[in-house]
């Protein structure tokens, strides 16, 4: 069978800067005081039977747009304005029974929430599901203007970016951004404005290579497959995939069909493979989990590595994505996404190579209707090629984020923050700056 080659998109997302000269750039960011009073609730969400943590479960304050998600250990931190103390909290997770619990039953910490799994077999005959899986995907993407938010909104989002060398954290960035999101029926690119951020990097652990992620929050935002379908399922690429029904599950009382997609074997250039979770009755994409085919090392390297040292070969070994959507008043919207990129750096005249992983995630924690369709001026927007600059201020301050809902740090990130704090203290004692020198 003859294999077909595609033309690679020159504007591919998620590019990496690899710089051989070490530097730390300090970016002064104005910090805004928070006057509203709020309460914090800590806890964890887990499978009621197996006791395993449920990762990326959503907790939403009923009657509001305030929400947060659990981290990779199932832990959450929910910040609630005092005037909403009488509301319920809605806890949802794909394939589990949705819970509604009074906030008055929550303590400030140690809230343990067990969820019951729902298992639904795919019916042999269904009147609401087309037999053609590809057709269902097409129809779902075409109905985005009907099923998703159809008016301009301003979303508050928490963004986190982590770089690891093997299992050790070497860089941690966090930010709160405002997303000026156009209606899903509109092809206009969403605008971002940085509100508050902090970052610190231990460059001494980076093998004399400063590994930086270009794009910042846009990397996570562009995973919104419904808003930006052309990055994966453009008209030119759609026919290069095979689609098939796998099984079914539930989100609350909605029957969700799982569709697997993968590139056809005759296509040689890297495309995607993964699963789409679709409410087939209403033609709504509720989640997508997928990865890039990177078996061709050279092609994958050209897509992701923008600059590298001459004495090193750099290529990605894993590129994975996830996006989840939420629903309010019959309309769905982007709620959470993450990106994982793993790279190998093979140095000349070195016996062992270096392995780095870069991950970024963003969660919508609140949103409101943008009645005036206000968009920040171009000079005030986050640029799509941004590299978050280093800002250590805030890691020693437990109240840095104020009332903003954030993704509760995992233990590994907490360890990284403690190391950063120690570095800051040593720097103050020794009169040293934040920079390091190349070995």
Do 289 and 300 meet the contact criterion of CB atoms below 8 Å apart?
no
For residue 75, list its beta bridge partners. Answer: 44
> From the DSSP assignment, how many helices (H) and strands (E) are in the chain?
7, 20
Residue with tokens 């659990």: 70
For each of the chain's 439 residues, which pLDDT tens digit applies?
Answer: 445 544 444 344 333 333 322 222 222 222 233 445 899 999 999 999 999 999 999 999 999 999 999 998 999 999 999 999 899 999 999 889 899 999 999 998 889 999 998 766 555 444 455 578 999 999 999 999 999 999 999 999 999 999 888 878 888 999 999 999 999 999 899 999 999 999 887 766 666 556 778 889 999 999 999 999 999 998 889 999 999 998 888 777 788 899 999 999 998 888 999 999 999 889 999 999 999 998 888 888 888 888 877 888 888 999 999 999 999 888 999 999 999 999 988 888 777 788 889 999 999 999 999 999 899 999 999 998 888 877 667 887 888 999 999 998 888 888 888 777 776 666 555 544 333 223 2
Contact 173, 163 (CB under 8 A): no
Would you state the pLDDT for residue 15?
Answer: 38
Pair of tokens at residue 107: 């303590």
Range 117-122, long-range pairs (CB < 8 A, 24+ positions): 117/47, 117/48, 117/49, 118/249, 118/250, 119/95, 119/249, 120/248, 120/249, 120/250, 120/255, 121/247, 121/248, 122/245, 122/246, 122/247, 122/248, 122/257
pLDDT at 10: 37
The model's pLDDT over 375-384, given as tens digits with 9 standing for 90+, comes to: 999 999 999 8
**Under 8 Å between Cβ of 265 and 1:** yes
Q: In 3-state terms, what secondary structure has residue 218?
A: helix
pLDDT at 421: 74
pLDDT at residue 4, as a whole number? 52
Q: What is the pLDDT of residue 397?
A: 82
Instruction: State both tokens at 264.
Output: 């056809």
Cβ-based neighbour number of residue 331 at 10 Å: 15
Cα(first)–Cα(last) distance of the chain, in Å? 51
What is residue 220's predicted lDDT score, i.e. its pLDDT?
Answer: 94
């Amino acid at each position: 069978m003859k294999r077909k080659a595609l033309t690679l998109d020159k504007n591919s997302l998620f590019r990496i800067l690899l710089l051989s000269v070490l530097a730390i750039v300090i970016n002064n960011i104005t910090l805004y005081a928070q006057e509203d009073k709020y309460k914090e609730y800590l806890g964890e969400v887990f499978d009621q039977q197996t006791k395993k943590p449920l990762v990326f479960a959503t907790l939403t304050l009923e009657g509001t747009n305030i929400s947060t998600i659990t981290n990779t250990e199932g832990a959450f931190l929910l910040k609630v304005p005092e005037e909403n103390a009488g509301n319920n909290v809605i806890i949802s997770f794909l394939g589990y029974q949705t819970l509604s619990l009074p906030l008055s039953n929550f303590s400030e910490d140690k809230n343990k929430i067990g969820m019951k799994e729902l298992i639904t077999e795919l019916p042999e005959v269904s009147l609401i599901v087309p037999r053609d899986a590809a057709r269902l995907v097409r129809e779902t993407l075409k109905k985005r203007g009907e099923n998703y938010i159809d008016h301009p909104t301003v979303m508050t989002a928490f963004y986190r970016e982590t770089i690891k060398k093997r299992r050790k954290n070497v860089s941690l960035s966090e930010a709160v951004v405002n997303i000026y999101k156009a209606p899903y029926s509109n092809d206009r690119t969403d605008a971002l404005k940085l509100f508050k951020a902090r970052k610190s990097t231990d460059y001494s652990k980076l093998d004399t290579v400063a590994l930086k992620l270009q794009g910042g929050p846009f990397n996570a935002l562009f995973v919104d497959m419904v808003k930006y379908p052309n990055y994966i399922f453009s008209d030119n690429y759609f026919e290069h995939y095979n689609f098939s029904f796998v099984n079914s599950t539930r989100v609350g009382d909605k029957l969700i069909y799982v569709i697997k997609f993968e590139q056809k074997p005759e296509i040689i250039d890297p495309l995607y493979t993964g699963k789409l979770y679709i409410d087939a009755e209403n033609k709504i994409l509720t989640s997508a989990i997928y990865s890039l085919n990177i078996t061709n090392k050279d092609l994958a390297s050209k897509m992701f590595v923008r600059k590298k040292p001459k004495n090193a070969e750099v290529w990605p070994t894993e590129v994975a994505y996830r996006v989840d959507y939420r629903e309010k008043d019959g309309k769905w919207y982007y709620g959470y996404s993450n990106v994982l990129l793993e790279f190998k750096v093979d140095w000349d005249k070195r016996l062992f190579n270096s392995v780095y992983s870069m991950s970024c995630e963003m969660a919508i924690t609140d949103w409101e209707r943008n009645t005036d369709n206000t968009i920040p001026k171009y000079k005030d927007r986050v640029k799509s090629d941004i590299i978050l600059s280093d800002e250590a201020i805030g890691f020693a301050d437990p109240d840095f984020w104020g009332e903003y809902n954030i993704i509760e740090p995992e233990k590994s990130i907490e360890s990284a923050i403690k190391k950063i704090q120690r570095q800051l203290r040593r720097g103050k004692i020794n009169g040293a700056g934040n920079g390091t020198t190349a070995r």
